[in-house]
């Protein structure tokens, strides 16, 4: 197999397609509820979900959903507002207040449909009384750079928020609530996706304090007092109808089916987490073992995995989790002639770059050498974007309208030398 880019891109495309609202919503939607229906939501897929809901349920619908800048699509009757991701901004607060206005004054005869997907935690932001937005921005930024797992980050976010951890559901009362989720978190816990605005928070203040201590994140005394007070006064909301429409597993299974069409044996590892570089090192060794005939299957094959890795950001470069993984994988493979790979975010944007992810080919390191680019130095500066831009190995798709987190495919197309 000489054209390695095309099959890798094909696997990514079908994985993303399987998790789009157009592919998954019809299977999970019930009949339209009687009475007034108000649509709210937040996340990278929220606008696409709203559009699909309009197609299936028709008029009249009204509501407000929030998406990151650049992710909006035009709906007929549902307002789509844009705000900042992954750090909230004033637009996030204003949009969240608009959502709360939509659900005020409802009755038991009304139904709220909440559309949630990855990115919702930043977009749906209203700090607790007594907590400044700047403080929430600072804490969020430190956690995102610390290497903390998403469930840890969102546990802290809930304690800082007036809408997360079930508080939005309380604001919707006494209306009926249906929550539709495209999950971007390992384990697909509804309480973690977008920090669970319509699902009761089961984490404790002790959990939150432990996370802050573990990652050395300081919280101002007044903020901590506000968090403790709000947590002590919190009463869990009534559990509504919660439906998970798509997950990473749907994407991986679609990619596995496509691999078989391409005459590649799929080896599906499922959702994986942990440090991006460490995972890449493990996968490089696995791919080399397979290429040498010492692995769990024979080439031609493709190793597939999803989930969400973590990155400790110590440098000032540009990139994201998938770029970190891909750069470490390229270093680990060291130009192995039989192995190529793609690591990308299914939402189309990896970290603070404008790319979905990065390709790794046998000549990737050699291309960097030709341009006098040192992979190790760029890795130290968390500058994977520059590395893959220079080598011509960025994957740029733009926003995809969904988000089931990371997608990784490692193609071993023939027997190669052992390392």
Render pLDDT for 115-126 as a digit per residue (tens, 0 to 9).
999 999 999 999
In whole angstroms, give the CA distance from residue 30 to residue 176: 14
Quick check: 50 and 115 in contact, CB under 8 A? yes
pLDDT at 396: 98
pLDDT at 16: 98
In 10 A of CB 236, how many CB atoms?
13
Q: Do domains 5-14+248-412 and 21-246 have the same CATH topology?
A: no
pLDDT at 1: 45
User: At 337, which helix (H) or strand (E)?
Assistant: none
CATH architecture of the domain covering 5-14+248-412: 3-Layer(aba) Sandwich (3.40)
CATH architecture of the domain covering 21-246: 3-Layer(aba) Sandwich (3.40)
In whole angstroms, give the CA distance from residue 183 to residue 49: 13
Domain boundaries of the chain, sorted by first residue: 5-14+248-412, 21-246
Q: CA 320 → CA 99, 161, 277, distances in Å? A: 30, 26, 12
360-378 CB burial, b ≥16 within 10 A, e <16:
bbbebbebbeeeebebeeb
pLDDT at 236: 86
Tokens matching residue 166: 């079930």
Q: Which residues of the chain have pLDDT under 70?
A: 1-2, 415-419
pLDDT at 414: 79
Residue among 281, 284, 276, 256 nearest 405 (CA): 276
Phi and psi of 99, rounded to 5°?
A: -65, -45
In sequence order, which residues have a C-beta less than 8 Å from that of residue 60 and are 6 or more positions away?
Answer: 37, 77
pLDDT at 26: 92
pLDDT at 418: 45
In whole angstroms, give the CA distance from residue 42 to residue 371: 42
pLDDT at 359: 98
pLDDT at 17: 98
């Amino acid at each position: 197999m000489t054209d390695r880019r095309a099959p890798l891109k094909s696997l990514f495309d079908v994985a993303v397609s399987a998790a789009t609202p157009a592919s998954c919503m019809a299977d999970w939607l019930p009949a339209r509820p009687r009475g007034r229906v108000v649509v709210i939501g937040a996340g990278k897929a929220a606008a696409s979900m709203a559009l699909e809901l309009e197609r299936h349920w028709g008029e009249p619908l009204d509501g407000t959903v929030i998406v990151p800048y650049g992710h909006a699509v035009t709906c007929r009757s549902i307002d789509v507002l844009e705000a900042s991701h992954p750090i909230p901004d004033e637009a996030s607060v204003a949009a969240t207040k608009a959502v709360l206005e939509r659900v005020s004054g409802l009755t038991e005869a009304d139904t709220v449909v909440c559309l949630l997907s990855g990115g919702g935690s930043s977009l749906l932001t209203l700090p607790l009384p007594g907590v400044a937005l700047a403080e929430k921005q600072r804490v969020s930024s430190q956690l995102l750079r610390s290497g903390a797992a998403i469930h840890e980050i969102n546990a802290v976010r809930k304690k800082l928020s007036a809408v997360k951890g079930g508080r939005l559901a309380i604001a919707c009362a006494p209306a009926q609530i249906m929550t539709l989720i495209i999950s971007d978190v390992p384990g697909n816990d509804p309480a973690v996706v977008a920090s669970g605005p319509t699902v009761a928070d089961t984490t404790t203040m002790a959990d939150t304090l432990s996370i802050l201590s573990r990652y050395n994140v300081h919280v101002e005394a007044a903020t901590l007092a506000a968090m403790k007070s709000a947590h002590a006064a919190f009463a869990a909301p009534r559990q509504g109808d919660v439906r998970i429409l798509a997950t990473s597993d749907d994407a991986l299974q679609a990619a596995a089916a496509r691999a078989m069409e391409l005459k590649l044996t799929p080896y599906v590892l499922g959702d994986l987490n942990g440090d991006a570089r460490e995972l890449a090192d493990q996968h490089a060794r696995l791919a080399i073992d397979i290429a040498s005939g010492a692995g769990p299957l024979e080439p031609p094959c493709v190793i597939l995995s999803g989930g969400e890795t973590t990155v400790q950001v110590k440098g000032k470069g540009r990139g994201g989790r998938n770029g970190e993984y891909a750069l470490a994988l390229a270093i680990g493979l060291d130009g192995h002639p039989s192995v190529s790979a793609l690591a990308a975010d299914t939402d189309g944007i990896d970290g603070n770059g404008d790319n979905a992810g990065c390709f790794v080919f046998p000549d990737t390191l050699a291309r960097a050498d030709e341009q006098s680019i040192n992979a190790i130095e760029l890795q130290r500066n968390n500058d994977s974007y520059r590395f893959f831009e220079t080598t011509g190995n960025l994957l740029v798709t733009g926003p995809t309208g969904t988000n089931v987190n990371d997608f990784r495919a490692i193609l071993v197309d023939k027997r190669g030398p052992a390392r």
